[in-house]
C-alpha cells in the first residue's frame, strides 16, 4: 500500500492519474476532511473520482481506497500488453473485486466485454455496484466468497477493506458468515463456456480456488493477479497447478515472505488456436 499521508503524495497521485480540478479537490477533501470527526457530518462518506480515459470510481473517506487507485491506475497491476492478449476478450471474471477499481480498469481495456465480479464483503458491495452503474459496465455482481465448492464460509473483516479474508489476521476486526460459490457456478449463471480473462486477488483463498476442483481452468485463456503466503500455497505450487492446464506465467512483482507475488499468464493452448476463441459475449 502506498502511503498517502503527505500532501505532496496526494498531489503526485492526482497528477499521475491526470485528474481534473474537481476530482483533485475530491481526492484531497475526502482524505483530509472525511477523516476528521468534526467534519464527517457535513462531508460525504464517498466521493467520485473521474480518471481520464479510464472511467469513474467512487472511493470512501477511509484512507485506504486511495491506494487502490495508485495500484490499479498508476502502477497498472492488471495491464495486459497486446503481445499477451490472444484474440478478443469478451468474458472477464474478477475474483476479489473490492470496490470495482480493477473492473473499471479492465472495462476500459476491453469495452466490449461482459464482467462478472465476485466480492464477499458487504462493506464493498455498494461501491462495487456503483462502479458498474457509473461506467455502464455490462455484467453482474456476485455477493459471495469464491471457493472450490459451494455453501457458506466465515469471512474475517479487516480494518483495511482491501484485506478481508477467509483467514484471520492480526487486524481482523469482525467475522461474518457469507455465501460460498465456485467458478463453475459463476460460469453457469453467466452462460459462459470460457473465461477470456481471470483476475484473482482473494487474500489467500487461491489455494482452494486454483488448487482444488480446478478442471474449469482448462476453459480460461488468461490470468492475472496476486498470490499470498499466509495459507501454505506458495507461488511455485500455484505455477505447477496452472502449468497442468497449459499456462505459462510471468512474475510481475517477485514473491516475498510477507506479500506473495504479482503475476500474469497465458494459456498457450488457446493462443495456438485463435479460431477457437469466442467472438461474441455469451
Q: Where do the domains of the chain lie, and which CATH numbers do they carry?
A: 1-75 (no CATH), 76-276 (3.40.50.150)
Beta-ladder partners of 220: 195
R_g over Cα of the chain: 18
Label residue 83 by pLDDT band (50, 70, 90).
Answer: low
Residue 205 has pLDDT above 60, yes or no: yes
Q: Which of 276, 259, 257 is nearest to 267 (CA)?
A: 276
End-to-end CA distance of the chain: 36
- The per-residue DSSP string of 243-281 comes to HTTTEEEEEEEEEETTTEEEEEEEEHHHHT-GGGS-SS-
Banded pLDDT at 267 (limits 50, 70, 90): very high
Sheet with 260-267: strands ordered across: 139-142, 114-118, 91-95, 195-200, 220-226, 260-267, 247-256
Q: Are 241 and 211 in contact (CB under 8 A)?
A: yes
pLDDT of 34 > 70? The answer is no
**Highest mean predicted confidence (pLDDT) among 43-47, 65-69, 179-183:** 179-183
User: Higher confidence at residue 29 or residue 110?
Assistant: 110
Q: Is the pLDDT reported for residue 92 higher than 70?
A: yes
Strand duo 145-147 + 195-200: pairing: unpaired
Give the percent of the chain with pLDDT over 90. Answer: 60
Range with lowest mean pLDDT among 1-5, 172-176, 177-181, 249-253: 1-5
Residue 96: other Cβ atoms inside 10 A? 26
**Residue matched to cell numbers 457469507:** 178
- This prediction has a pTM of 0.89
Among 132, 134, 90, which Cα is nearest to 109's? 90
* Average predicted confidence (pLDDT) for the chain: 86
Q: What sections of 62-100 are H helices per DSSP? A: 65-69
Amino acid at each position: 500500500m502506498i502511503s498517502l499521508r503527505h500532501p505532496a503524495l496526494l498531489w503526485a497521485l492526482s497528477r499521475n492519474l491526470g485528474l481534473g480540478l474537481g476530482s483533485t479537490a475530491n481526492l484531497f477533501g475526502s482524505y483530509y476532511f472525511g477523516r476528521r470527526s468534526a467534519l464527517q457530518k457535513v462531508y460525504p462518506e464517498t466521493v467520485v473520482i473521474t480518471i481520464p480515459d479510464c472511467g469513474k470510481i467512487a472511493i470512501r473517506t477511509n484512507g485506504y481506497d486511495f491506494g487502490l487507485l495508485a495500484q490499479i491506475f498508476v502502477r497498472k497491476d492488471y495491464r495486459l500488453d497486446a503481445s499477451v492478449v490472444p484474440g478478443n476478450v469478451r468474458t472477464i471474471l474478477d475474483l476479489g473485486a473490492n470496490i470495482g477499481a480493477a473492473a473499471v480498469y479492465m472495462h476500459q481495456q476491453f469495452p466490449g466485454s461482459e464482467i462478472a465480479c465476485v466480492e464477499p464483503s458487504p462493506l464493498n458491495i455498494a461501491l462495487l455496484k456503483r462502479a458498474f452503474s457509473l461506467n455502464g459496465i455490462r455484467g453482474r455482481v456476485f455477493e459471495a466468497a469464491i471457493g472450490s465448492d459451494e455453501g457458506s464460509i466465515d469471512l474475517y473483516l479487516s480494518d483495511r477493506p482491501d484485506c478481508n479474508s477467509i483467514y484471520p489476521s492480526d487486524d481482523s476486526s469482525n467475522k461474518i458468515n457469507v455465501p460460498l460459490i465456485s467458478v463453475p457456478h459463476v460460469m453457469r449463471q453467466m452462460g459462459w463456456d470460457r473465461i477470456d480473462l481471470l483476475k484473482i486477488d482473494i487474500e489467500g483463498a487461491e489455494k482452494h480456488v486454483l488448487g482444488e476442483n480446478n478442471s474449469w481452468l482448462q476453459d480460461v485463456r488468461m490470468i492475472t493477479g496476486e498470490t499470498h503466503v499466509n495459507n501454505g500455497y506458495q507461488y511455485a505450487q500455484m505455477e505447477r497447478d496452472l502449468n497442468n492446464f497449459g499456462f505459462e506465467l510471468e512474475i510481475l512483482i517477485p514473491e516475498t515472505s510477507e506479500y506473495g507475488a504479482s503475476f500474469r499468464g497465458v494459456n498457450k493452448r488457446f493462443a495456438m488456436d485463435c479460431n477457437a476463441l469466442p467472438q461474441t459475449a455469451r
